[in-house]
């Protein structure tokens, strides 16, 4: 109870009211608990340069305690090292491992790119998902990693080069202003959209929640709709778009998906997400009574809060499949 009282003191009444209105009480309490945990270091083995078995053998020899993740063979949880320790490790310096949250690894897995595909990562820095996409594709095909900020783009290039992701090209530019050549060019698009970051809130770190406001959320939602429109226009018919955020608010998540489905009608549909995580981590969202058409990942001791949806561009002659937000004002997850 003391911890929850402290949380209420730190987070604004506007935020607490917004969150409690959008989630039923049991899930609301779970989310608040997730804001107060300390998470272990997690990493992704870079299969372009090595494999999980070799990394685990070295970790065992060096007494680095680790665990595998059931849903992704390249993911490891490290229990007795800090991020700084692993950043100084030879495997990290050589690009054989990459420090990445478990939730961040999920959108590329849901997109499921294949070798030889042309893929757009619309908001790519610092490169965790671009390099993961390259690894999933066996470093065969083409990935355009777009980043608006020139400084962040340099970090993106550095991470791509360190991990040997030679199929990735970096573009410095506004993702809301695409190149004409992008139109219906890509087989798959990943949009991990800039957001209010509610899923990353940590009560011990005021930087994660300082400055939050509904005004900012609404501004970001408008930007997200411009980005998701660009992402969908860049898709070939039959192509897949994964939209993800590290926030938990309807304005930036379900409302944007509903907007896109309504805007494109017969061209847009939702794919079912079949990825199975630990029990109680993912909470399915329904669009048009379609189960698992989007997922909310509740923040826990292992996972940051995330939202993920997978859309498909249909040929124009297909029948309409208009979208809509879940009917209840409170998400009974």
Q: Are 91 and 58 in contact (CB under 8 A)?
A: yes
pLDDT tens, 11-54? 999 999 999 999 999 999 999 999 999 999 999 999 999 999 99
CA-nearest of 38, 102, 39 to 70 is 102
**245 sits in which H/E element:** strand 235-245
Dihedrals φ, ψ of 57, to 5°? -60, -45
Q: What DSSP designation does 262 have?
A: H
Please tell me the class of the 102-313 domain: alpha beta
**Separation CA 234–CA 221 (nearest Å):** 20
Active site residue 246: yes
Q: Are 113 and 133 in contact (CB under 8 A)?
A: yes
**22 sits in which H/E element:** helix 13-22
* The pLDDT of residue 329: 43
**Separation CA 180–CA 84 (nearest Å):** 42
What pTM, to 2 d.p., does this model score? 0.92
Q: What DSSP designation does 83 have?
A: H
**Separation CA 319–CA 275 (nearest Å):** 27
* The pLDDT of residue 276: 76
- The residue with tokens 């040929």 is 315
Helices (H), the chain: 2-10, 13-22, 25-34, 52-61, 83-87, 90-93, 102-111, 128-136, 150-162, 214-234, 254-264
Please identify which of the residues 43, 198, 230, 246 carries the catalytic annotation.
246
**Separation CA 39–CA 106 (nearest Å):** 17
**Separation CA 224–CA 252 (nearest Å):** 7
* The pLDDT of residue 280: 61
Dihedrals φ, ψ of 161, to 5°? -65, -40
Q: Are 313 and 234 in contact (CB under 8 A)?
A: no
Dihedrals φ, ψ of 32, to 5°? -60, -40
Regions of the chain with pLDDT less than 50: 1-2, 318-330, 332-333
């Amino acid at each position: 109870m003391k911890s929850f009282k402290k949380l209420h003191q730190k987070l604004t009444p506007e935020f607490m009211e917004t969150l409690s209105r959008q989630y039923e009480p049991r899930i609301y309490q779970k989310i608040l608990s997730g804001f107060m945990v300390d998470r272990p270091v997690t990493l992704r083995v870079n299969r372009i340069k090595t494999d999980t078995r070799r990394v685990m053998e070295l970790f065992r020899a060096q007494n680095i305690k680790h665990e595998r993740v059931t849903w992704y063979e390249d993911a490891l949880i490290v229990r007795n090292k800090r991020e700084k320790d692993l950043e100084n490790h030879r495997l990290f310096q050589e690009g054989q491992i990459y420090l990445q949250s478990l939730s961040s690894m999920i959108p590329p897995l849901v997109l499921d790119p294949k070798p030889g595909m042309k893929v757009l990562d619309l908001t790519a820095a610092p490169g965790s998902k671009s390099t993961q996409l390259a690894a999933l594709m066996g470093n065969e095909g083409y990935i355009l990693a777009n980043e608006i900020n020139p400084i962040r783009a340099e970090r993106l290039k550095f991470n791509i080069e360190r991990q040997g992701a030679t199929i990735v090209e970096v573009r410095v530019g506004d993702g809301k202003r695409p190149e004409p050549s992008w139109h219906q060019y890509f087989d798959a698009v990943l949009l991990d959209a800039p957001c209010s970051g509610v899923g990353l809130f940590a009560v011990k770190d005021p930087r994660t929640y300082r400055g939050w406001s509904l005004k900012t959320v609404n501004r970001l939602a408008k930007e997200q709709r411009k980005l998701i429109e660009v992402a969908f226009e860049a898709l070939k018919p039959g192509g897949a778009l994964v939209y993800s955020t590290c926030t938990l608010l309807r304005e930036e998540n379900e409302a944007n998906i509903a907007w896109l489905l309504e805007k494109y009608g017969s061209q847009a549909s939702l794919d079912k997400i079949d990825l199975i995580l630990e029990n109680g981590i993912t909470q399915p969202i329904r669009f048009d009574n379609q189960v698992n058409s989007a997922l909310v990942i509740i923040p826990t001791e292992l996972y940051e809060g995330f939202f993920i949806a997978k859309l498909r561009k249909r040929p124009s002659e297909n029948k309409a499949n208009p979208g809509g937000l879940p009917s209840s004002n409170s998400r009974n997850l």
